[in-house]
Amino acid sequence: MRFDAALFDLDGTLLDTLTDLSNSANHALATLGRPTHPREAYNRFLGQGVRQLFVDALGPGHLHLLDEAVATHLAYYAEHRLDTTRPFPGVTAMLARLNQRGVQPGVLSNKPDAAACEMVPHFFPDTPWAWVRGHRPGTAPKPDPHAAIEAIQTLSVPAERWLYVGDTAVDMQTGKSAGMFTVGVSWGFRTADELQANGADAIIDEPGQLLDLIDV
């Protein structure tokens, strides 16, 4: 099958952001006098946007703190989002090989739009990004497919010629709803079983394997 474009999730797919995100979320929780969580717990919390992150992290009975938690997290994360975050091994080389094959790359993240649009070119300055979008106020986050459909329309590439690459159930649901070929990555926040259960058309264990899905 020939693919002409690839839409990537960001956190847990292209970038290992878990430490910076968990540190920031725990800072917000501690500031509000709530218990913090182990780093590994954020594998479950992340992926559905910042408000849902704190719905889960605060727990029942404490949602009156939601707006303050989100604001505290965003302010702290803006200063610390580059502390330890790095591309996963092999991602930069994979993106270069995609470019060589003429596959247009894009990013669709539930991270706030300003952060996504700053971090993508910072970590991947040599990649000719065709489309980058984070979550914008007033729009539904993934798994709502509206932004993925906008990418299809903007690049004028039919849905069936897109790869959608991500690490969570939300990503597989988004790609499926947009009509894309969904690829789950096993190195991210969730398990291969979760990805398969949510409709992944393929599972890859390292970034270079994405090239095996693309016809020359």
Is the pLDDT at 160 greater than 70? The verdict is yes
% of the chain with per-residue pLDDT over 90:
94
Task: Give the pLDDT band (50/70/90) at residue 215.
Answer: low
pLDDT in tens, 1-39: 789 999 999 999 999 999 999 999 999 999 999 999 999
State the average pLDDT over residues 60-85.
Answer: 95
> Could you give the C-alpha distances from 133 to 116, 117, 142, in angstroms and in order?
7, 7, 11
Calpha distance 140→146 (Å, rounded): 8
Q: Quote the number of domains for the chain.
A: 2
What is this structure's pTM? 0.93
Domain, as residue range, for 197: 5-16+86-213
Are 115 and 176 contained in the same domain? yes
Are 72 and 93 contained in the same domain? no
Q: Which of 46, 80, 114 is the last residue in one of the domains?
A: 80
Ranking 47-51, 77-81, 129-133 by mean pLDDT, the lowest is 47-51
Identify which of 90, 114, 85 has the alpha carbon closest to the alpha carbon of residue 205: 90
Are 65 and 97 contained in the same domain? no
Calpha distance 98→93 (Å, rounded): 9
Are 101 and 196 contained in the same domain? yes
